[in-house]
């Protein structure tokens, strides 16, 4: 559990106490000016806080009223307190490629993102459906390959994919669950419709930000939180532990979190989840394999490990099977795994299903495996490997978003409407040279949420990553997920590595809000 007896908690408590009475001290002109700013930002993109089409209006009004009672200086002090909390707790990340290796705190915006319970139910249903289909797809391509034989997904595109693992062929997993922890990135367009932007099935991150964001909201805005009947998310670590245990081949399994180490950009999250689940956080030096069984070294001697929640990529998990120079993995781990003596979550080889070039086929997977219509739509996508699509992309490059099929973190992207002629020319050459490495999508007018900036409250684009937990017996999704926000004016890139921030996500029952 988080420490409660430290200086930052005192700072949060002091700021929260001061804010409880601040509304009564503001003069009428300050309230009027803040409210006037709200009137200005309602007129542009689809603003979720003022979404009249949904049932979240009551909660939106309460937040608007709360904000109008606080000066911008007061609100900024809350954000500063949140930053101090993040710093003290070590909630930081590093950006790969930066020379100095410095760590940053992710910007936290005190203004929450509101989702009505009715909307959330649709999101949860769609995410659950999608993950079920993706798990069945993974089982299929490593077994009978029926979807490939039917010509629904191109065989060559799957079997030659760099994330396809021949070691997994004909290997049976309990309940056909390959992705125990999935992150589904969702956006809303200019009319408020939900779309899936991409699937994350390898090592999806960000859940620690979701949980810490809620704790900060409850500290800084206790009365507002109580007024809105917000759905709970603090049960996530316990649910994660239960889901991991249900995927094991034994009762009462020994679970560990395997981290590359403290220099990994998401190390805080690895440590956080291990602590919250009350399981060991280990590196490769703590584990060894003997007679196709995995053991962890402890002060009480060795203990057999039954589930490994790994937070490193396939290529590094076993130097005897993948990269021979990897010092992050455990020699012999894949042998133990293929004997069903240990569960690796998520399974090796899941990456083939979350590649952006496979993403366009997920709707067809849902039809093929489940016989259902997709609850959540895909964003229209052009496969640059297809000549017809490539021709269209090259002719309309300035209107489209181009992404690397294997890219992540907002890297390797071109946002056509924001690109200069030089950038367009560079990407045009890349597409002509290696079209199979790219996909393209129309530039959507993403929904926005009021966000505190240095200049005041302004519209900023947002997305949502719900976390889906899967076992052979159930699917669990805590109501909220991680809302990421593009902090730069006009930016559509929400990734923290590209300057994005986070918001607390409130799922509210409007009948009681």
- Residue 104: per-residue pLDDT: 72
Run of H or E including 344 = strand 343-345
Sequential DSSP letters for 227-242: HTTBPP-TTHHHHHHH
Rg (CA), the chain: 23
Check residue 38 and give its pLDDT: 52
**Which of 15-19, 133-137, 380-384 has the lowest average pLDDT?**
15-19
Backbone angles phi, psi at 92, to 5 degrees: -130, 170
pLDDT of residue 106: 84
Give the SS3 label for residue 505.
strand
Q: What number is the average pLDDT over the span 323-348? A: 97
Model pTM score: 0.88
User: Is 338 within 8 Å of 294 (Cβ atoms)?
Assistant: no
Instruction: Say yes or no to pLDDT of 10 above 50.
Output: no
Assigned token pair, 457? 């409250």
**Residue 66 confidence class, pLDDT cut points 50, 70, 90:** confident
In this structure, are residues 183 and 495 in contact, taking their beta carbons and an 8 Å threshold?
no
User: Sorting pLDDT into bands at 50, 70 and 90, what band is 53?
Assistant: low
Band (pLDDT 50/70/90 cuts) for residue 513 is very low
Percent share of the chain, pLDDT over 70: 85
Provide φ and ψ at 287, rounded to 5°. Answer: -115, 150
**pLDDT of 505 strictly over 50:** yes
Q: Determine the pLDDT at residue 1.
A: 34
pLDDT tens, position by position, 204-262: 999 999 999 999 999 999 989 988 889 999 999 999 999 999 999 999 999 999 999 99
Q: Specify the 3-state DSSP secondary structure of 389.
A: helix
The pair of structure tokens assigned to 393 is 């992309």
DSSP state of 329: S
Q: 501 with 107: CB under 8 angstroms?
A: yes
Strand partners, 343: 307
The answer to whether residue 24 scores a pLDDT higher than 90 is no
CA dihedral in degrees (484, 352, 333, 182; nearest 10)? 30
Cα 122 to the center of its chain, rounded Å: 18
Query: For residue 36, with 0-12 CB atoms within 10 Å meaning exposed, 13-18 middle and 19 or more buried, which class applies?
Result: exposed
Q: To the nearest whole percent, how much of the chain has pLDDT over 90?
A: 67
Using an 8 Å Cβ cutoff, are 254 and 307 in contact?
Answer: yes
What letter would DSSP give residue 288?
Answer: E
Provide the 10 A C-beta neighbour count for residue 114: 30
* Per-residue pLDDT at 322: 95
The set of residues, in sequence order, having a beta carbon less than 8 Å from that of 456 and lying 6+ positions away, is 37, 72
85-113 per-position pLDDT tens digit: 888 887 776 655 555 555 677 889 999 99
What would the mean pLDDT of 22-26 be, rounded to a whole number? 36
Token duo for residue 386: 């297809």
412 falls in which pLDDT band (50, 70, 90)?
confident
Residue 346: closest CA among 474, 254, 272, 240: 240
Range in 29-38, 193-202, 272-281, 459-468 the model is least confident about: 29-38
pLDDT digits (tens, 9 = 90+) for 255-286: 999 999 998 888 999 999 999 999 999 999 99
Specify the length of the chain in residues.
Answer: 513
Kindly report, residue by residue over 440-488, the tens digit of the pLDDT. 999 888 899 999 988 889 899 999 999 999 999 999 999 999 999 998 8
Q: Please, what is the angle between helix 57-68 and helix 28-41, to 10°?
A: 140
Residue with the larger pLDDT of the pair 250 and 30 = 250
Question: In which region does residue 175 sit, left (phi positive, over 0), alpha (psi from -120 to 50) or beta (all else)?
Answer: left
pLDDT one-digit tens code per residue, 127-159: 999 999 999 999 999 999 999 999 999 999 999
pLDDT at 56 over 70: no
Q: Which residue has the higher pLDDT, 340 or 67?
A: 340
Predicted pLDDT of residue 23: 37
Domains defined along the chain, listed by start = 250-339 (3.40.50.11290), 380-442 (3.30.1490.270)
Contact 224, 66 (CB under 8 A): yes
Average pLDDT of the chain is 87
**How much is the pLDDT for 25?**
34
Confidence of residue 407 (pLDDT cuts 50, 70, 90): low
Q: Find the mean pLDDT for residues 403-415.
A: 75
**Phi, psi (5° rounding) for residue 464?**
-145, 135
Sheet holding 400-404: strands in order across?
382-383, 438-442, 400-404, 414-415
**Alpha-carbon distances of 164 from 75, 142, 370, 438, rounded to whole Å:** 48, 9, 23, 18
């Amino acid at each position: 559990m988080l420490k409660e007896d430290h200086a930052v908690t005192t700072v949060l408590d002091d700021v929260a106490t001061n804010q409880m009475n601040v509304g009564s001290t503001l003069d009428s002109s300050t309230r009027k000016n803040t409210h006037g700013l709200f009137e200005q930002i309602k007129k542009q993109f689809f603003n979720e806080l003022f979404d009249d089409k949904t049932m979240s209006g009551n909660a939106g009004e309460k937040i608007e009223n709360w904000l109008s009672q606080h000066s911008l200086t007061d609100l900024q002090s809350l954000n500063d307190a949140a930053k101090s909390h993040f710093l003290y707790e070590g909630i930081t990340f590093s950006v790969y490629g930066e020379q100095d290796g410095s760590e940053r705190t992710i910007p936290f915006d005190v203004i929450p993102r509101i989702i009505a319970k009715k909307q959330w139910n649709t999101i949860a249903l769609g995410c659950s459906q999608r993950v079920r289909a993706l798990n069945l797809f993974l089982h299929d391509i490593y077994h009978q390959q029926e979807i490939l034989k039917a010509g629904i997904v191109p065989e060559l595109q799957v079997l030659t994919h760099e994330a396809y693992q021949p070691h997994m062929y004909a290997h049976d997993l309990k309940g056909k669950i390959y992705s125990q922890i999935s992150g589904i990135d969702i956006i809303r367009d200019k009319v408020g419709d939900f779309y899936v932007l991409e699937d994350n099935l390898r090592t999806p991150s960000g859940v620690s930000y979701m949980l810490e964001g809620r704790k900060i909201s409850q500290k800084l805005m206790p009365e507002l939180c109580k007024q809105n009947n917000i759905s709970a998310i603090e049960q996530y670590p316990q649910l994660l532990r239960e889901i991991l245990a249900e995927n094991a081949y034994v009762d009462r399994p020994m679970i560990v979190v395997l981290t590359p180490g403290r220099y990994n950009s998401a190390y805080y999250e690895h440590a956080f989840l291990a602590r919250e689940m009350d399981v060991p956080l280990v590196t490769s030096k703590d584990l060894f394999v003997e007679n196709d069984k995995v053991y962890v070294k402890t002060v009480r001697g060795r203990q057999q490990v039954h589930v490994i929640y790994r937070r490193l990529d396939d290529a590094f998990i076993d130097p005897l099977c993948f990269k021979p120079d990897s010092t992050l993995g455990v020699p012999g781990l894949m042998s133990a795994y293929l004997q069903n003596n240990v569960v690796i979550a998520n399974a090796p080889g899941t990456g083939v299903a979350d590649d952006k070039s496979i993403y366009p086929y997920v709707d067809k997977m849902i039809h093929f495996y489940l016989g259902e219509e997709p609850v959540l739509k895909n964003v229209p996508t052009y496969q640059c490997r297809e000549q017809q699509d490539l021709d269209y992309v090259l002719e309309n490059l300035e209107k489209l978003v181009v992404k690397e099929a294997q890219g992540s973190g907002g890297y390797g992207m071109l946002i056509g409407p924001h690109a200069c002629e030089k950038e367009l020319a560079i990407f045009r050459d890349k597409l002509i040279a290696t079209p199979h490495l790219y996909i393209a999508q129309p530039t959507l007018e993403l929904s926005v949420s009021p966000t505190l900036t240095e200049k005041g409250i302004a519209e900023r684009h947002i997305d949502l990553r719900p976390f889906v937990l899967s076992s052979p017996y159930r699917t669990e999704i805590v109501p909220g997920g991680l809302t990421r926000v593009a902090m730069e004016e006009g930016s559509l890139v929400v990734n923290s590595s590209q300057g994005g921030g986070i918001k607390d996500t409130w799922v509210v029952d409007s009948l009681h809000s």
